[in-house]
Amino acid sequence: MEKKRVYTFGNGAAEGRADMKNLLGGKGANLAEMNLIGVPVPPGFTITTEVCTEYNELGKDYVVSVLKDEVEKAIEEIERLTGTKFGDKDNPCLVSVRSGARVSMPGMMDTVLNLGLNDESVEGIAKKTGNARFAWDSYRRFIQMYGDVVLGLKPQTKEDIDPFEEIMDEVKQAKGIHNDTELSTEDLKELVKRFKLAVKERTGNDFPENPWDQLWGAVCAVFDSWMNERAIFYRKMNNIPEEWGTAVNVQAMVYGNMGNTSGTGVAFTRDAATGEDIFNGEYLINAQGEDVVAGVRTPQQITLEGSRRWAKQQGISEEERAAKYPSLEESMPECAKELIEVQQKLEDYFKDMQDLEFTIQDGKLWLLQTRSGKRTGGAMVKIAMDMLRQGYIDEKTALKRCDPEKLDELLHPVFDKKALSAAKPVTRGIPASPGAATGQIVFHADEAEEWASNGKKVILCRIETSPEDLRGMATAQGILTARGGMTSHAAVVARGMGKCCVSAANNMVIDYKARTLTINGKEMKEGDWISIDGTTGYVYEGKIQTQDAELNDDFSALMELADKYARMEVRTNADTPRDARTARNFGAKGIGLCRTEHMFFEDDKILAMREMILAKDEQGRRKALEKLLPLQKTDFKGIFRTMDGLPVTIRLLDPPLHEFVPHDEKGQMEMAKVMGISYKDIHDRVEDLIEANPMLGLRGCRLGNLYPEITEMQARAIIEAALELKKEGVEAIPEIMVPLTGIVHEFKAQKEIIESTIKKVFSEQNDSVEYKIGTMIEIPRAALTAHRIAEEADFFSFGTNDLTQMTFGYSRDDVAKFLPMYIDKGFLKHDPFAVLDQKGVGRLMRMAIQEGRSVKPTLKCGLCGEHGGEPSSVKFCHTIGLNYVSCSPFRVPIARLAAAQAAIEG
């Protein structure tokens, strides 16, 4: 049998289902399901995502030829259900053509509405509806959209001008009109004529009058839009594979712009910004969907309660609100009632917060889309925990619903309370995406990118954003817009990115040419500092200091739940008591890596450290090490005290010594004075330390083996610290870690030094503590000979930064020169220093664990490279049987959730 490529739906029946998202895309699958559960949906059909792949591989002619029969039949079905005829001049069937990938990619791909209109059928629609203005307005919108999307007239650069916009402006200017709604039927006819001329001028061809030509053109344009620049960028940012492709949904048109008993809107079953369990959304009377998204007119709220809340935020009186911006509950109570019932039905059915699109045509409600709504990190946690308590979902589902990376948003800064109390807001807008941001004003997305790449913090200020602004939005600290609402582009995209955004700032006027923004008469220029609060909607002039977020009960409850299911523990990489405290507060179960070298850079220590390195002989080194010993001990005590009762893995000195010594004349002179030797001696020693490739040079345990007295000093400092704390009642659990082992003998030699030092300290103090001695596995040879090393080591900790470096042969410091090219060419899917390379580096790890445990079944294995806080890497660590991962303090909650998800997914 021929492969099925088209799935129809309508009037309570459907060939697809909600669980067919891979084939039908999210939109198509849910349109089918809505039919099946009795929600009113205009009839239509979905062309599968597989056809998109065929289109990209085999081309347009092939795809049109294999689709023809099925599409013609599906159109007949729409005709039957709507009582219209595709291409008929008196009673035409008009359709929309929209994209729909597996996951939503808001605004990234193309849409064509009102397809099927031509010079004849426009008259038919005018007669049928008795509304000539409506018919001609739909026709001019169609030509404009089709011209932009299918015929390629859309501007490609900032300098290009959209010919349709230009004509529109000319006509409006000539008539002295500001609003599109003021255009008369005659104006619209004139626009149609001029639009068509523009098409002929630009493309050399007449605008297609045949609806079938129109349909195939639009279907192919939607497939083409899967490969447009912004869709590719969005996919990269969100890790969406290119192979997925988009489906195409063709659906009978319904109109929200047929007069004052029609309208269109977008709604959420719960609050997408805060997670609060309240139905909310926006609509416009006598408008089409794109009018809501474009943010040109001020949208109104659906519920009365929401409307009053909105008016309060905007500083609008109740009288003005009721007269100018009534809620849907007030303006169309019957439809509002039905919509409220439908939203409840959809949430009950899909058991998740839904994002709905609806249109009311002449008093009849139609749902055009339902999908799981995008939400902020805070809303994600609240909705998951609320739905768990409300009995919608079970514990495992609640955990799976939360995206570990999005927890990051909860840890986002808020304004410093004291600094904020001194600041006076200059205006307030809609709190579109939470968090606080402070930065310099820029007005264009490309400039935001440029400034940010120069290390500047910027706030992207726009009248309204569009998908072209995506890169600039991604690099800005926050986004501020003059127009729009909760569902406009800036708001939806910023929430998706977890970026702070205030939209529709009251009385804010932006002048792109003058590069100024004016709020209530106060002018601010490009480069001036501004601060925005996406949680309250307030905008402040100047810079306001930010502070870390405070975590709420839902967050703690989610974390507890995560620990209930996770099998792997999460530790932290911390070198100071402050970091250790932060990580402990985030639930770290110990320190997996304390890099001791970071402790030597402070003022009092760096001189003694330099003295140790620059010393001519062992005696000189020992003298300097004696000075370092008490300082190190104090550092270790601080960390042990903070981690009281939890294990602390302390790594012996790792980096090349030349990193610590002064390379300038002034610094070298100072050291000569301190040490009482000549400048030349110092200078020669510094030269001597320089290596061609220090990353592969004298570092790690090579240092401790060349200068055993360093290892001795560090082992003594660790154990003396632990013993002193024991007397105070603090339980220090030291795990001493040898870095950069490649040969078992290197480790054995270090272990002997450590053990003999510990023995000495125990007998000096007549006391003892429990300790472990283990090693990093970060050199491929160590992984390959893990069975030998495991005989000697108490634990392994995979240093995946170095292991990646040495497995790939990419220098950690120089990889940026070619990595972007490798990712562009598809040689690598991700930066392997950020996302663990499971096939290569991961294979070495798996092997090392198996071999290590074959000789020591209880061998404890962890990971302490940067991958320890990256969800997909954490999940991999679970599958290969690691006992723990260790990551930076702020990644601890992310790793805890990822570890739980890994355990649930099995």
Contact positions vs ligand PEP (CB under 6 A): 593, 595, 654, 778, 799-802, 864-865
Residue closer to ligand PEP by CB (options 385, 864) is 864
Would you say 172 and 194 are in contact if contact means Cβ atoms under 8 Å apart?
A: no
Minimum Å gap between C-beta 613 and Mg ion is: 20
125 binds, among Mg ion, ligand PEP, none (CB under 5 to 8 A by kind): none
Give the one entry of ligand PEP, Mg ion, none that residue 137 binds, where binding means its C-beta sits below a cut-off of 5 to 8 angstroms depending on kind. none
- How many other C-beta atoms lie within 10 A of the C-beta of residue 639? 23
Distance CA 406, CA 408 (A): 5
445 or 863: CB nearest ligand PEP: 863
Q: Which residues are within 8 A (CB) of 655 and not within 5 positions of it... i.e. 6 or more apart?
A: 597, 699
In angstroms, give the least distance from the CB of 28 to ligand PEP: 44
Minimum distance of ligand PEP from residue 776's CB (angstroms): 7
Instruction: Tell me if 866 contacts Mg ion by CB under 5 A.
Output: no
Binding mask 250-289 for Mg ion (x = CB under 5 A): ----------------------------------------
The whole-angstrom separation of Cα 753 and Cα 11 is 81
Residues facing 511 on adjacent strands: 516
Q: CB-wise, 611 or 802, nearer to Mg ion? A: 802
Q: What type of residue is 651?
A: R
Cβ of 521: how many Cβ atoms within 10 Å?
Answer: 7
State in angstroms the smallest separation of the CB of 801 from ligand PEP.
3
CB of residue 325 vs ligand PEP: minimum separation in angstroms? 56
Report in angstroms how near the CB of residue 699 gets to ligand PEP at its nearest. 9
Which phi and psi angles does 718 have, rounded to 5°? -65, -50
Closer of 374 and 699 to ligand PEP (Cβ): 699
> Cα 640 from chain centroid?
35
- Measure the CA–CA gap between 402 and 386, rounded to whole angstroms: 13
Active-site annotation holds for 864 = yes
Q: Is the dihedral of CA 239, 243, 244, 248 positive or negative?
A: positive
- Residues 300 and 212: their CA atoms lie apart, in Å, by 37
Q: Which is nearer to Mg ion, 713 or 864 (CB)?
A: 864
Q: How far apart are CA 704 and CA 574, in angstroms?
A: 22
Q: Which is nearer to Mg ion, 469 or 866 (CB)?
A: 866
Q: Rounded to whole angstroms, what are the CA distances from 835 to 244, 566, 846, 870?
A: 21, 21, 16, 7
If phi > 0 it is left, if psi is from -120 to 50 it is alpha, else beta; for residue 351 that is left
State the nearest-atom distance from the C-beta of 802 to Mg ion, in Å: 4
Nearer to ligand PEP, 266 or 885 (CB): 885
- With a CB cutoff of 8 Å and minimum separation 6, the contacts of 719 are 734, 757, 758, 761, 762, 769, 771
For the CB of residue 739, give the shortest distance to Mg ion in the complex, in Å: 6
| Two structure tokens written together for 850 | 């198996």
Question: How is residue 903 written in tokens?
Answer: 């355990």
Identify the three-state secondary structure at position 185.
helix
Q: Least Å distance between CB 866 and Mg ion?
A: 10
The residues with which 886 forms a beta bridge, in sequence order, are 571
| 223 neighbors 55 (Cβ within 8 angstroms) | yes
Cβ-based nearer residue to ligand PEP, 264 or 800:
800
Per CB under 5 A, the segment of 339-347, 380-388, 802-810, 830-838 that binds Mg ion is: 802-810
In whole angstroms, give the CA distance from residue 539 to residue 533.
6
What is the total count of residues that contact Mg ion (CB under 5 A)? 3
Q: Taking the CB of residue 389, how many other CB atoms lie within 10 A of it?
A: 12
Q: Does 799 bind Mg ion (CB under 5 A)?
A: yes
Backbone angles phi, psi at 595, to 5 degrees: -85, 105
Query: Judged by CB, which is closer to ligand PEP: 334, or 813?
Result: 813
Please pick, from the candidates 802, 851, 866, 870, the single residue that binds Mg ion as defined by CB under 5 A. 802
Q: Which does 33 bind (CB under 5 to 8 A by kind): ligand PEP, Mg ion, none?
A: none
Q: Which does 593 bind (CB under 5 to 8 A by kind): Mg ion, ligand PEP, none?
A: ligand PEP
| Partner whose binding site includes residue 595, from ligand PEP, Mg ion, none (CB under 5 to 8 Å by kind) | ligand PEP
For the record, the structure tokens of 807 come out as: 């497995």
851 touches, from Mg ion, ligand PEP, none (C-beta below 5 to 8 Å by class) = none
CB 865 → Mg ion: shortest distance, Å? 7
Least separation in angstroms between CB 613 and ligand PEP: 18
Site string for Mg ion, 760-789 (x = CB under 5 A): ------------------x-----------
Tokens for 492, please give them: 């939806």
Q: In what helix (H) or strand (E) does residue 425 lie, and over which residues does it extend?
A: strand 425-428
Catalytic residue among 489, 658, 867, 878: 489
CB of 612 to ligand PEP, least distance (A): 20
Please choose, out of 182-190, 723-731, 792-800, 876-884, the segment that lies near Mg ion by the rule CB under 5 A. Answer: 792-800
Cβ contact 386:351 at 8 Å: no
Between 412 and 651, CB nearer to ligand PEP: 651
Single out the segment in contact with Mg ion by CB under 5 A; choices: 48-56, 393-401, 690-698, 797-805. Answer: 797-805
Indicate which residue of 864, 877, 878, 887 is catalytic. 864
125 contacts: CB under 8 Å, gap ≥ 6: 92, 94, 117, 134, 135, 138
DSSP per-residue letters across 111-145: EEEEET--TTHHHHHHHHHT-HHHHHHHHHHHHHH
624 versus 882: smaller Cβ distance to Mg ion: 882
> What is the Cα 230 distance to its own chain's centre?
16
Q: Cβ closer to ligand PEP: 758 or 864?
A: 864
382-390 long-range contacts (CB < 8 A, ≥24 apart) are 382/274, 382/275, 382/276, 382/554, 383/270, 383/275, 383/352, 383/353, 384/558, 385/554, 385/557, 385/558, 386/270, 386/275, 386/277, 386/554, 387/351, 387/352
Stretch that binds Mg ion, among 17-25, 285-293, 368-376, 794-802 (CB under 5 A): 794-802
Catalytic (active site) residue 489: yes
Q: Report the amino acid identity of residue 561.
A: L
Q: How many CA atoms lie within 13 A of 647 on its CB side?
A: 21
Smallest distance, Å, CB 797 to ligand PEP? 8
CB 895: neighbour CB atoms within 10 A? Answer: 34
CB of 385 or CB of 835, closer to Mg ion = 835
What contacts 404, CB < 8 A, 6 or more positions away? 871, 874, 894, 895, 897, 898, 901
Per CB under 5 A, residues contacting Mg ion are 778, 799, 802
Residues designated catalytic: 489, 864
